[in-house]
Structure 1
């Protein structure tokens, strides 16, 4: 309904990985470059953490696409790492990287089989392999030792396998419980919430990609602030709210999307998630233009500093 009302040729807020609608903030571009550099330089292990909907999968897909387009070695992506055994993990890794299926009668046999396949492929062709694992908080912690062993595979001048783990904040806690594995992390990245300005830019970008040709965004300034606060600055939730807010505006035949429409959208989608702190912050932001957020759990930086203090 809202497509015709706002002159759009496509839905700008579908929850898909369509690269045509992908938008990067300067901070996101920097994270993408740092992750790509870490993996292509063969530094070993990179870890990306962030809450649900922060853009972890989009980041992995973007980096994978960049490396594939550049003709870089072997790139494999595992989306569901709920493996019960080491053999299952090694089999999935080999499949993702296009290597021969490992085999054997024991875990050691499987590791040696995977190692031979990796050396035969990457070693002989002067290639490096990159394994990306999404939803890594689902990994059985016992398998972290398996991944650590894979990071040991190297020639004299380079590593043969780099690994990136992306997951929710509890992933960092799991890693820090295993010092030998945590010591192998070459890069930690934490995905941050979008600012109000970044939220507005994301919405405007998607609208333009969907055919909006107006001189200014149909979202009023207060509506953008509300989207940012009620979504917690998380891209996936923000776009879901934005879509429903446009539906609300179209239903009342409005020419623009207002604060009221965002409130309606929030109640339609998940009223139980709209807490008092968010409502108070929204009220203050509407009156003064200031953005206030509720307190959040410890950041990745705080977790790492505490870990280093305890380990020293």
Structure 2
């Protein structure tokens, strides 16, 4: 280590809470004065809140050492059960609980102890560190202990020490009784740049035994800019800076040494995996986002690629249609999903002959028209005759809306009633929709076998 090199009796920047090295900024001094006032005047519940590394534990140990006439129970483990918590407090106070068989017995012994303390002019305080981690039952146990009081004085003082999350816990509805009892609320914040410089020189002077200035102004400015005045991070950066200075055989720490310490320190901090995990997560999200955007741009620039497969299918179906038309004289006409050809095959063959220039073949409920179609009317299937056997009917299974356009948001032209049959003049499949031309109206139906079927009207005869 560098203690001998710089003439220190011990490490000035150890991160353990040592009250010998306490430095009192205005905020720290104010917090100590508030807590001392609360203890002396028996205010009951108090809180000390500050971010990680702001010096809460150091202040607690400073207070424990300062009050010689106060019984202190310091609880460092907030995850104790309520029973374990009560037992630990009694043990710290020196109460004999060997003959106590339940929490009620311990509570009675605690009451006797606190009354005796008051009669003898002494006080008692329970300090719970990391109190934001206490569960509701433990908070309730502490609140019950605070009920041990006289008409004009609190017999037990309770200091809850924790991070800012403690305030969020205390405002919960189920802890409102305890929160209302808190009379002292002290807060700690980071140092400003001036306090950062004084803090560093203060600790070096205590470790060296004399006033010494090892860190120059530029290095202190760097340390403050990186730590934002957090005491724990200041200790760690200074510790690394002194080791680098010793390795370089320098007695003063300048900004260049601090920069190297910063790189070493923050790389070391990320070694716990938390920062690396965040970096990995951000990197993965970035890659996924990039691919989504790239795919979207690709299909935006080349939309025709989305329909290649469907176009090939249509070409194949058109080819099938032509082959069937060429061979229609040697075979029976094809039966589709909507007309009955069992008894009318000859008539249907004649229909196909009469309309061979605009024929439409339905396969798997997909309409495919000839490539030589010249207008939209050529795509529409016509019955071609008013005879009963040629008619195509729409059989409605459920009430269905005949819409103005092929969209669920378009206007409704007519409501087709369940279990009714409608004779249609023309129909055409258009994607997921079917265009229907009735005598009294026309429009689009969403193509679903659950809603309707199209077939020859003669099938029910």
Q: Same fold by TM-score, threshold 0.5 exceeded?
A: yes
* Corresponding residue to 1:75 among 58, 72, 77: 72
In 1, are the aligned partners of 2:48 and 2:56 still within 8 Å (CA)?
yes
Q: Which whole-Å CA distance do the structure 1 matches of 2:97 and 2:119 have between them?
A: 18
Q: Which of structures 1 and 2 has the bigger CA Rg?
A: 2
In 2, are the aligned partners of 1:103 and 1:110 still within 8 Å (CA)?
no
How big is the shift at 1:93?
A: 0.9
Who is 1:180 aligned against?
177
* Corresponding residue to 1:191 among 188, 193, 198: 188
* Corresponding residue to 1:111 among 104, 107, 121: 107
* Corresponding residue to 1:232 among 228, 231, 239: 228
Aligned residues: 269
Q: Which whole-Å CA distance do the structure 1 matches of 2:147 and 2:28 have between them?
A: 30
Q: Which whole-Å CA distance do the structure 2 matches of 1:98 and 1:90 have between them?
A: 13
* Deviates further, 19-28 or 100-109: 100-109
Q: Which whole-Å CA distance do the structure 2 matches of 1:104 and 1:19 have between them?
A: 36
Q: Which whole-Å CA distance do the structure 1 matches of 2:88 and 2:186 have between them?
A: 25
Cα separation, partners in 2 of 1:18 and 1:58, compared to 1, 3 Å: closer
What SS is found at the alignment partner of 2:127?
A: strand
Who is 2:252 aligned against?
256
Gaps of 5+ in 2: 276-461
Q: Deviations over 1:212-269 (max 9, x none)?
A: 757x622121211222232232212211110111111221223421222222223323
How big is the shift at 1:118?
A: 2.9
Gaps of 5+ in 1: 276-312
Who is 1:159 aligned against?
154
Q: TM-score, normalised by structure 1?
A: 0.78
Q: TM-score, normalised by structure 2?
A: 0.54
What SS is found at the alignment partner of 1:270?
A: helix
Who is 1:91 aligned against?
87
In 2, are the aligned partners of 1:48 and 1:166 still within 8 Å (CA)?
yes
User: Are 1:141 and 2:136 matched, yes or no?
Assistant: yes
In 1, are the aligned partners of 2:27 and 2:189 still within 8 Å (CA)?
no
Who is 1:202 aligned against?
199
Where relative contact order (Cα < 8 A, 6+ residues apart) is larger, the structure is 1
Who is 1:131 aligned against?
126
How big is the shift at 1:197?
A: 0.7
In 2, are the aligned partners of 1:6 and 1:212 still within 8 Å (CA)?
no
Higher helix share: 1
User: Are 1:38 and 2:38 matched, yes or no?
Assistant: yes
CA root-mean-square deviation = 2.4
